[in-house]
Structure 1
Amino acid sequence: MSVLPRSVEPCPRSEALTAAEDDDCAWVEVCHLESIEPGRGVRALVGGYAVALFRVDDGADATVGRVWAIGDIDPCTGVSVLSRGLLGSRSVTGGIELYVASPLRKHRFALHDGSCLDEPSSGAGAWAVRVRDGRVRVSREPVVAPSCRQRRPTQGT
């Protein structure tokens, strides 16, 4: 049984950037892949957003880590907690959809796009992820915008 979709695709804007712009502008290195325990979440600040990163290893090859990034703020409560949520899955046509359940009200958010499976009008947002040479990089801006307004730090903080 396959997991659909496998991950958020890289931001289309980044493909048109030069290598220098790609490194400096569109992507932020957040951690080493080994820093994210499979089946658990970690929180990072990316471009002023609180982002929850999740690593899900395919059973066939545990050395290949799939990493998803969604907003860490639960749009149903406004609290930054999704990185501490429980991972789960549900059957959908053609495969399995992975999600994280918020530790507060147990709303489920799809890992591929951050959409709330229990309240369709809410969503945590999603960021593109790249793993290169064991380093996890996240797009500076979300590829799917969060439904709630997240506070972004002012310039220089």
Structure 2
Amino acid sequence: MTMAAYAMLAAATYQHSGFFTPLYHIASVFASPQTMMTSMQQAMMGDSFYFTLAPAAAGAVIHMMVGAVFGALFGIGAALLRLRGTILVAAALVWGVVVFAVSTWVGLPLAAAIFGSGDQIRNMTSMVGLGTFLIEHLLFGLMLGLLLLLEHRSHRH
């Protein structure tokens, strides 16, 4: 959720592409990119909050499912390695970078090829901006590590 919130705030502020555009961007893996393009056009004309429920919901669900899979993989690895405390959080940050790299150079191009999604998925990292995309994934890793740390500590008491 933190990653998505950052992406949406970035899109509405310094990217000037529209608050909900990241959700439409993600949804375009399965759907037409038209809603994403309309959102970006509306933002250029001063309406940063163009909203259409179905593609926004689809983008949110797709994003959360992908995040859940990457989060579960990390959780399993962290449990097997018995990561705790600061090491757990640091490892989760590194995992965020790994997810960034896998998404950028494997997952997104593969999804574009499999689903015929086109350049908006294949080139998502460059469209969003390398720095923004990396920060999003670092936030994913940080929150994942903190949540697992809190979960571990709550089971100790």
TM-score class normalised by the smaller sequence? under 0.3
Q: Which one has the bigger strand percentage?
A: 1
Structure of higher CA gyration radius? 2
When normalised by structure 1's length, the TM-score is 0.25
Q: Which one has the bigger helix percentage?
A: 2
